[in-house]
Amino acid sequence: MTELAEIATGNAAPMAASERPNPIIILMGVSGAGKTTIGKALAERLNWPFEEGDDLHPSVNVEKMRAHIPLTDADRKPWLEKIAARIDGWREAGRAGVITCSALKRSYRDLLARGRPEVQFVYLRGEQILISARLAARKDHFMPPDLLTSQMATLEAPSPDEPAIAVDIASPTEAVVARIMGELGQEDVHDSSAEATGKPDRPPTVSIDDPKLEHRHPSVEKGSQTGPDLPLPIEDYALIGDCTTAALVGRNGSIDWLCWPRFDSGACFAALLGTAQNGRWRISPADSAARARRAYRDGTMVLETVFETSEGEVALIDFMPPGQLNSSVVRLVEGRSGKVTMRLDLRLRFDYGSSVPWVTRLEDGSGLNAVAGPNAVALRTPIGLRGENLATVAEFTVAQGECVPFVLTYGPSHLPPPPAFDWQTALKATETFWRDWCNQCTYEGAWKEPVQRSLLTLKALTYSPTGGIIAAPTTSLPEQIGGPRNWDYRYCWLRDATMTLIAFMSAGYVDEARAWRDWLMRSAAGSPEQIQIMYGVAGERQLNEWQVPWLAGYQGSSPVRIGNAASNQMQLDVYGELLDALHQARNHGLAPAPSGWALQEALIQHLEAIWEEPDEGIWEVRGGQRHFTYSKVMAWVALDRALRDAERFRLEAPTERWRAVRDRMHATICEQGFDSRRNTFTQSFGSEELDASLLLIPTVGFLPPDDPRVLGTVAAIERELVVDGFVLRYRTQQGVDGLPPGEGAFLPCSFWLADNYALQNRDAEARDLFERLLALRNDVGLLAEEYDPRLKRQVGNFPQAFSHLALVGTALNLHDIGPAQKRRRGSRTTSGSS
Question: Tell me: the pLDDT tens digits for 315-352?
Answer: 999 999 999 999 999 999 999 999 999 999 999 999 99
SS in 3 state form for 378-421?
A: EEECCCCCEEECCEEEEEEEEECCCEEEEEEEEEECCCCCCCCC
Rounded Cα distance, 499 and 823, in Å: 10
Rounded Cα distance, 646 and 173, in Å: 71
DSSP assignment letter at 17: G
Q: How confident is the model at residue 29 (pLDDT cuts 50, 70, 90)?
A: confident
pLDDT at 594 over 50: yes
Report which of residues 562 and 173 the model is more confident about.
562
Q: What pTM value is reported for the model?
A: 0.74
H-assigned helices in 439-496: 448-460
Rounded Cα distance, 97 and 420, in Å: 67
Q: Which of 263-272, 468-477, 590-599, 663-672 is least confident?
A: 590-599
Residue 609 makes CB contacts below 8 A (sequence gap 6+) with none
The H or E element spanning position 350 is helix 350-353
Rounded Cα distance, 703 and 713, in Å: 12
**Which amino acid makes up residue 113?**
A
HSE of 708 in the Cβ direction (CA atoms, 13 Å)?
A: 7
pLDDT at 834 over 60: no
Q: Which of 215-229, 721-735, 798-812 is least confident?
A: 215-229
For CA atoms 669, 671, 676, 678, the dihedral sign is negative
Q: Are strands 119-125 and 165-168 parallel, antiparallel or unpaired?
A: parallel
CA torsion angle for 419, 420, 421, 423 (degrees, to 10)? 150
Rounded Cα distance, 570 and 111, in Å: 52
pLDDT at 192 over 50: no
DSSP assignment letter at 716: H
- Tell me how far CA of residue 217 lies from CA of 37, 221, 271, 397, 557, in angstroms: 26, 11, 19, 28, 20
Rounded Cα distance, 708 and 4, in Å: 52
Rounded Cα distance, 742 and 483, in Å: 8
How crowded is residue 103: how many other Cβ atoms within 10 Å of its Cβ?
21
546 and 511 in contact (C-beta within 8 Å)? no
| Burial zone of 800 (CB within 10 Å; 0-12 exposed, 13-18 middle, 19+ buried) | buried
Rounded Cα distance, 799 and 239, in Å: 8
Q: How confident is the model at residue 7 (pLDDT cuts 50, 70, 90)?
A: low
CA-nearest of 164, 149, 150, 61 to 110 is 164
Instruction: Give the end-to-end CA distance of the chain in Å, rounded to a whole number.
Output: 53
pLDDT at 476 over 90: yes
Backbone phi, psi, residue 358, to 5°: -90, 125
Residue 679 makes CB contacts below 8 A (sequence gap 6+) with 708, 709, 712, 713, 715, 716
| Burial zone of 544 (CB within 10 Å; 0-12 exposed, 13-18 middle, 19+ buried) | exposed
- Tell me how far CA of residue 172 lies from CA of 38, 186, 554, 703, in angstroms: 10, 19, 23, 57
- Tell me how far CA of residue 379 lies from CA of 333, 406, 520, 798, in angstroms: 15, 7, 37, 27
| Range with the largest mean pLDDT of 644-648, 694-698, 725-729 | 694-698
HSE of 784 in the Cβ direction (CA atoms, 13 Å)?
A: 27
How many residues are listed for the chain in this entry? 834
Rounded Cα distance, 420 and 379, in Å: 10
SS in 3 state form for 528-583?
A: HHHCCCEECCCCCCCCCCEECCCCCCECCECCCEECCHHHHCCCCHHHHHHHHHHH
126 and 5 in contact (C-beta within 8 Å)? no
Predicted confidence at residue 816, as pLDDT, reads: 66
Q: How confident is the model at residue 261 (pLDDT cuts 50, 70, 90)?
A: very high
Q: How confident is the model at residue 138 (pLDDT cuts 50, 70, 90)?
A: low
**Which amino acid makes up residue 774?**
L
Q: What is the pLDDT of residues 390-439, one digit of tens each?
A: 999 999 999 999 999 999 999 999 999 999 999 999 999 999 999 999 99
pLDDT at 209 over 60: no
Q: How confident is the model at residue 306 (pLDDT cuts 50, 70, 90)?
A: very high
Rounded Cα distance, 279 and 346, in Å: 8
152 and 146 in contact (C-beta within 8 Å)? no
DSSP per residue over 469-529, as a string? E-S-S-B---SSTTSS---B--SEEGGGHHHHHHHHHHTT-HHHHHHHHHHHHHHH-S-GG
542 and 588 in contact (C-beta within 8 Å)? no
- Tell me how far CA of residue 362 lies from CA of 94, 145, 366, in angstroms: 73, 45, 6
Rounded Cα distance, 561 and 764, in Å: 42
476 and 554 in contact (C-beta within 8 Å)? yes
CA angle (188, 194, 198) in 5-degree steps? 65
Instruction: For the sheet with 745-746, list strands across it.
Output: 745-746, 786-788, 793-795
Backbone phi, psi, residue 204, to 5°: -65, 145
Predicted confidence at residue 330, as pLDDT, reads: 98
How crowded is residue 200: how many other Cβ atoms within 10 Å of its Cβ?
15
Q: Rg (Cα) of the chain, in Å, rounded? A: 29
Residue 62 makes CB contacts below 8 A (sequence gap 6+) with none
| Burial zone of 724 (CB within 10 Å; 0-12 exposed, 13-18 middle, 19+ buried) | exposed
317 and 303 in contact (C-beta within 8 Å)? yes
268 and 350 in contact (C-beta within 8 Å)? yes
Q: What is the pLDDT of residues 767-778, one digit of tens each?
A: 999 999 999 999
Q: How confident is the model at residue 151 (pLDDT cuts 50, 70, 90)?
A: low
Backbone phi, psi, residue 552, to 5°: -75, -15
CA-nearest of 146, 154, 151, 152 to 68 is 146
Residue 222 makes CB contacts below 8 A (sequence gap 6+) with none
